[in-house]
Structure 1
Amino acid sequence: MSRAALLLLADGRFPAGGYAHSGGVEAAVAHKAVHDIDSLEAFCRGRLHTTGLTTAGLAAAAAAGCDPLLLDDAADARTPVPALRAVARKLGRQMMRAARATFPSAELDRLAAERPQGAHQPIVQGLAARAAGLTPQDAACAAAYETVGGPATAAVRLLSLDPLDASRLLARLSPETDTIAAAAADAAALVATEGPDALPSASAPLLDITGEQHAAWTVRLFAS
């Protein structure tokens, strides 16, 4: 196992397309729900404990060797909004391309063949972590971190925030990110005996609503 592999997988510069997505913060800025660093922190914390927990559980389960097709169906069930399902699969296709080039594995190749339309991003992320020799908790940590790192980075551009403030925000959320990753990994360990229903299914209805609205905008800075 290489800790450097975890850094690579969680790096915003990993060419998996995440830089083009705001994680819902562009819509939140438009609705004035996010307007400064404090409101951004509240947004990120809420996203971490809902979407972050759910995606971290899926990533951890994939890294633990659970059936990726069953997990992909579980991800569909946990993503009720068509626009966000399409985003998750698009990001999954981009993650798959980067993962297969960086961490080649038969499991990634098989999933790419069986889900040509793209599997959900956390499933691919979990298989990439598995191929890199990382643990389910590592995969969960990378997924959880992305749910707050993406919006924080996007908000710097959208609101002209000081990047140092955004970094400080992510540092404050680090203990919670670790807690979420641990809870996700614990849930993933139950999938072998209890099935995908053991995974978290926390939701954020307002993110679902604004995600669908955002997809219909004719002018936007981010894809989602």
Structure 2
Amino acid sequence: MTTTAGASAALLVLADGRFPAGGHAHSGGVEAAVRAGRLDDAAALERFCRGRLHTCGLVAAGLAAAAATGHDPLALDEAADARTPSPALRATARKLGRQMMRAARAAWPSAALDDLAAARPRGAHQPVVLGVAAASAGLGPPDAARAAAHESVSGPATAAVRLLGLDPFEATAVLARLAPEVDAVTAHALRRAERVAAEGTDALPAASAPLLDILAEHHAAWPVRLFAS
């Protein structure tokens, strides 16, 4: 799909960290990693983001691309559940999906968003909502996949600046160095999403990050924390 000028602008809105979808309140595992002593500088942030991109980011990009293609979002939501073993992360994904749904319905009203909101009043998984929102905004599967992949690293990078007092220029440089890998993950996710029509949701990526699951469960039990996840 060739993105039109108007759709290009919509992608900027959707992928903007200021889009009111609640992502700013979540660290993507960075807060728990910092406390565990696994992340303390820009080099460690880059390693963390790279691992997250090729696991969580790939899965999210595949789900978003499939949703933007028009595949059944309820089936994709079930597939997202199956790929999210951590109860804490499932709850977070649905909370973020609910918040994104509110923002998306205000920005790009559509029957598809209304139907998904009615079917999942407590929230669908965020990447699925992202894909449906992208389609409602006139964007295609590549745009949805790229937005999901980028979000998987941009959120943690922003959180690291707050948690570590990291130089924002260093955090931005990390994202710039990861940009080619974001493109590669996007392409991989699209190839897998294209197989859903013939093979079902089993064709979607199912990469795992067990340590992130464990850290998420620990983080959810903290009585005091800066980020919701």
**Where on the TM-score scale, by shorter chain, does this alignment land: which range?**
over 0.9
TM-score by length of 2: 0.97
Q: Which residue of 1 aligns with 2:177?
A: 172
Once the two structures are overlaid, the 10-residue window that deviates more, 181-190 or 145-154, is 181-190
Q: Answer yes or no: is 1:68 the counterpart of 2:83.
A: no
Cα-to-partner distance string for 1:2-59 (whole Å, 9 max, x where unaligned): 1011111110000000000000000000011000000000000000000000010000
What code does the residue aligned with 1:12 have?
G
**Which 4+ runs in 1 deviate beyond 2 A?**
none
Task: Report the residue type matching 1:7 in the other structure.
Answer: L
Structure 2, unaligned stretches of length 5 or more?
none
Tell me the residue number matched to 1:218. Answer: 223
Percent pairwise identity: 71
Please list, as runs of the form range in 1=range in 2, the aligned pairs for 1:140-159 lying within 5 A after superposition.
140-159=145-164
Q: Which of 132, 145, 148 lines up with 2:137 in the alignment?
A: 132
The equivalent of 2:165 in structure 1 is 160
Task: Give the CA deviation at 1:185.
Answer: 1.0
Q: Distance in 1 between matches of 2:17 and 2:223?
A: 26
Where does 1:175-186 land on structure 2 (aligned, <5 Å)?
A: 175-186=180-191
Which residue number corresponds to residue 37 of structure 1?
42
Alpha-carbon distance in 2 for matches of 1:61, 1:83: 24
1:103-152 CA distance string (max 9 Å, x none): 11100000000011110000000001001111101100000000000000
Quote the residue 2:109 is aligned against. 104
- 1:13 pairs, out of 3, 12, 18, with 18
Q: TM-score, normalised by structure 1?
A: 0.99
* Equivalent position of 2:93 in the other structure: 88
Supply the RMSD in Å over aligned alpha carbons.
Answer: 0.5
Q: Where in structure 1 are there 5+ consecutive unaligned residues?
A: none
Deviates more, 1:182-191 or 1:43-52: 182-191
Structure 2 residue 70 is matched with structure 1 residue 78? no
Alpha-carbon distance in 1 for matches of 2:12, 2:185: 18
- Which residue pairs with 1:113 in the alignment? 118
